[in-house]
Structure formats: C-alpha cells, structure tokens
Amino acid sequence: MQLLKIVNDLHVGIGEYKISRSSGRLVTLGLGSCVGVSLWDPRNKLGGLLHVMLPNSKDFNNINKHEKYADLGIPLLIQEMVKQGTSKNMLQAKLIGGAQMFTGVNQKKIFNIGERNVEMSRKILKEMSIRIIAEDVGGNKGRTMYLDLATGEVLVKTLGKNIKVI
C-alpha cells in the first residue's frame, strides 16, 4: 500500500456502505464503538465497506436505514456485491473497530456496544459462510480504516500510534 502516492479515496459515511472495484480505496473515518466490515473479492478486485453503528435492529422500532445495523447491513452489502458480479464464497472479510472509548465508571450500555457490534458481525458473517481473515478490534482507541481495492489490504490508523496494515 503506497501512502505517499495520491490515491483515489471513496468516503463511507457513518451507518453507510459503499462498493467499488479495481483501484483506489474505500475509507471510513473515526470508528469508535462502531465496526467497519470490509469484504473483498480477490479475483474481481471488488470491495465493499460497511460502517456498522449497532448490533441488532431488533432492539429498535422504526428501522429506516438498514446499513446502521450489523444484522441487516452485512447481508445487504453481500447481496449488493453479488449483484455486481462476485460470488459469496469469493469474499474475504476483515473487521475493524468496536472499541470502548470512555474511561470512568462503568456504563454498561456504552461498555458493551463495541463488543456487541463485533460479536454480531462475526455471527452474521459466519451464518453467511464468509471467512474473516483478519481483525483489529476492541481496545480503547478510535480507528480510521482504508480498504485497498487492488490488494485487499486494510490499513488502520489510530491517533498517536503507527499505522497498521492487516
């Protein structure tokens, strides 16, 4: 992954997903308790990135945006990628995020949300028979992630630390 070269970055917003192919990167900024789920098809160089906010849509009424929830967003991303020419068994997943950002008294809801996002994402991917080939999850730092569409590499940036490639 070349950092110094100007690359074509496609920004994935909070609770959104994007799919692209061949070159450039898909980027999502500032994952806290949220989880970034990247899917990549090495043969077609097709990649997708989803920014999950919450684990389970069943915890809420009135769901408007399926992409916000792991249980709805991941199947949606897979379905859209299949439409664009990949097959499910080609996809390789990577999970980034799910941190606990706050220190202080334990607030159970805040405490669990990152962990629950990670667990639900793993569960849904397993149910859909998608392999998770790398993870950088948990801890207490916010993360920005880049998916390189040509190589499938994921670059993880945290403040005050070295960039990590997985």
Active site residues: 34
At closest approach, how far in Å is the CB of 91 from other proteins?
A: 26
Q: Is residue 14 a contact residue for other proteins (CB under 8 A)?
A: yes
Q: Is residue 31 a contact residue for other proteins (CB under 8 A)?
A: yes
Query: Which of 149, 18, 19 has its CA nearest to residue 84?
Result: 19
Of 1, 7, 21, 30, which one interacts with other proteins (CB under 8 A)?
Answer: 30
Q: Is residue 3 a contact residue for other proteins (CB under 8 A)?
A: no
Distance of CA 37 to the CA centre of its chain: 2
Q: Is residue 63 a contact residue for other proteins (CB under 8 A)?
A: yes
Phi/psi at 36 (5° precision) = -95, 120
User: Which one of the spans 81-89, 106-114, 126-134, 146-154 is the region binding other proteins (CB under 8 A)?
Assistant: 106-114
At closest approach, how far in Å is the CB of 8 from other proteins?
A: 18
Q: Is residue 54 a contact residue for other proteins (CB under 8 A)?
A: yes
In this structure, is the dihedral angle defined by the CA atoms of residues 69, 75, 81 and 83, taken in order, positive or negative? negative
Of 60 and 87, the one with the shorter C-beta distance to other proteins is 60
The count of residues interacting with other proteins (CB under 8 A) is 34
Beta-bridge mates of residue 54: 69
User: Which one of the spans 17-25, 30-38, 84-92, 126-134 is the region binding other proteins (CB under 8 A)?
Assistant: 30-38
CA distance between the termini of the chain: 11
Distance of CA 7 to the CA centre of its chain: 20
* Those residues with Cβ within 8 angstroms of residue 91's Cβ, 6 or more apart along the chain or in another chain: 39, 40, 41, 78, 81, 130, 131
Beta-bridge mates of residue 147: 26, 154
Residues that bind other proteins (CB under 8 A): 13-15, 29-34, 53-54, 60, 62-65, 68, 99, 101-105, 107, 109-110, 113-114, 141-144, 157, 159
